[in-house]
Structure 1
Amino acid sequence: MESARGAQQDETFSPSEREVGVGPWTGPWPEGDLWDPELLREGDRRNVVDRYRYWRHEAIVADLDTRRHGFHVAIENWQHDFNIGTVVRTANAFLAAEVHIIGRRRWNRRGAMVTDRYQHVRHHPSVEEFTAWAHEERLPVLGVDLFPESVPLETYTLPRECVMVFGQEGPGLSEEMRQAAEATLSIAQFGSTRSINAGTAAGIAMHAWILQHAQVG
């Protein structure tokens, strides 16, 4: 399988001509339930890593579910925050257990680049319902925002299992979520702006968990 994929991907293209993914499978088709006959026949242009080329969508999700990390991420969505797609995409890249959307159910999926098909996303209508879920799952709720009581993310020992919550762009975490959080964490800043984009902050916090707990390499 590796040789067939490699031969297809090593073709030389200019940056403007390079295509995403691989073309139709060359040679005898592989056997097993992992493989998608349509993708083998037509090629696989999805936004997935090489390991999952030609795999059925359900097979990819099932494999990811065997390896998901212990952290969850949540974002408040009271005013249709446009960062949610970015948060979902980053959560998929870092293999978060789930993404939680608190408030409005609807969000702009364009920024997720179809990764929401592979990432579990759960909706909670209110902070109260979200915190009740976290309590039932025994997951500490950690807010990420700039408050006087916030402690630096850079020096904080993140639990292996937790849920990190981010406020929507502008207002930040709601007061109700601030009070519900076991701790609030801040990201070190050194310039003139008072805040970091919510999608960027989520990526930084997720990677902090990766540095502390994930097996890299």
Structure 2
Amino acid sequence: MPHGQPEVGVGPWEGPWPEGAHWDPDLLRDGDRRNVVDRYRYWSLEAIVADLDTRRHDFHVAIENWQHDFNIGTIVRTANAFLAAEVHIVGNRRWNRRGAMVTDRYQHVRHHPDAAALATYLHGLDGGPVRLLGIDNLPGSAHLETMELPRRVCFLFGQEGPGLSAGAREVCDGTFSIAQFGSTRSINASAAAAVAMHGWIRAYADLSGDDAWRG
């Protein structure tokens, strides 16, 4: 179709094949149609994850999963884009992966039965405790726009609608909210997660080299 979606990726490798353990022979032979940046064209999945692991950031993202929330997949995809250390699913183990668009293959995703287990895990990590900050429009919540984000932090999001559960509120080291000026009481959970993650990127990510992809 003249105005259809352009074909994604690249075709089979042309010329002699490159040498190195990170190359995937099947992709070199058949082409690489995955939604990955050019740096990782023809790389095996395992090689990509290993390379990402050398550069992951110090923030984590968690979301409660009591209602099989469709936002979880989108949050995983955004966490992959911003190179989160881990994504944590709290509650039901099964989650809706559709919005992740297979980015969960490249992102470490960990399950916890409840928020208390998540807090225990984060506070006991090597390198020092990771602060657990919930996002909710609660009295006393700090403003994301003016607070100083911890470098080692996990952003915890509740379900679309009810927000953070009572158990999650009890174990959070603090809560913050995102400034809004319209008529709605809240913004979409995946949108809020993207705002929070980007806030961390603006504060701490190294933008001086070639590690920040431009598309």
TM-score by length of 2: 0.93
Asked if 1:191 corresponds to 2:191, the answer is no
Residue equivalent to 1:112: 100
What TM-score, normalized to structure 1? Answer: 0.92
Q: Describe the superposition over 1:7-39 as per-residue Cα deviations: whole angstroms up to 9, x where unpaired.
A: xxxxxx955151000001111110010100110
Instruction: Say whether 1:170 aligns with 2:158.
Output: no
Matched, 1:206 2:197: yes
Compute the displacement of 1:154 (Å). 0.7
Q: Return the letter of the residue paired with 2:193.
A: A
- Tell me which residue corresponds to 2:124: 136
Q: How far is the alpha carbon of 1:157 from its aligned partner?
A: 0.9
Contact 1:99–1:120 (CA under 8 A) maintained in structure 2? yes
Pick one of 51, 62, 71 that aligns with 2:50. 62
AA partner of residue 119 (structure 1): Q
User: Segments of 4+ in structure 1 off by > 2 A?
Assistant: none
Consecutive unaligned residues of structure 1, counting only runs of 5 or more, are 1-12
Counterpart contact for 1:81–1:169, Cα < 8 Å: yes
Distance 2:5 2:64 in 1: 40
Equivalent of residue 35 in structure 1, options 14, 23, 31: 23
Cα separation, 2, equivalents of 1:117 and 1:172: 27
Q: Which residue of 1 aligns with 2:148?
A: 157
Q: Which residue of structure 2 aligns with residue 96 of structure 1?
A: 84
Find the partner of 2:9 among 12, 21, 44: 21
Shift of 1:47: 1.1
Deviation at 1:195, TM superposition (A): 0.4
- The reply to whether residue 75 of structure 1 matches residue 63 of structure 2 is yes
Conserved? CA contact 1:47–1:114, under 8 Å? no
Distance verdict in 2 for CA 1:15–1:95, change over 3 Å: farther
* Counterpart secondary structure, 1:73: strand
1:135 shift after superposition: 1.7
State the number of aligned residues: 205
- % identical equivalent positions: 68
1:180 shift after superposition: 1.3
Q: 2-side partners of 1:178 and 1:146: how far apart?
A: 12
Cα separation, 1, equivalents of 2:46 and 2:122: 27
Q: Give the CA RMSD over aligned residues.
A: 1.1
Task: Give, in angstroms, the shift of residue 111 of structure 1.
Answer: 0.5
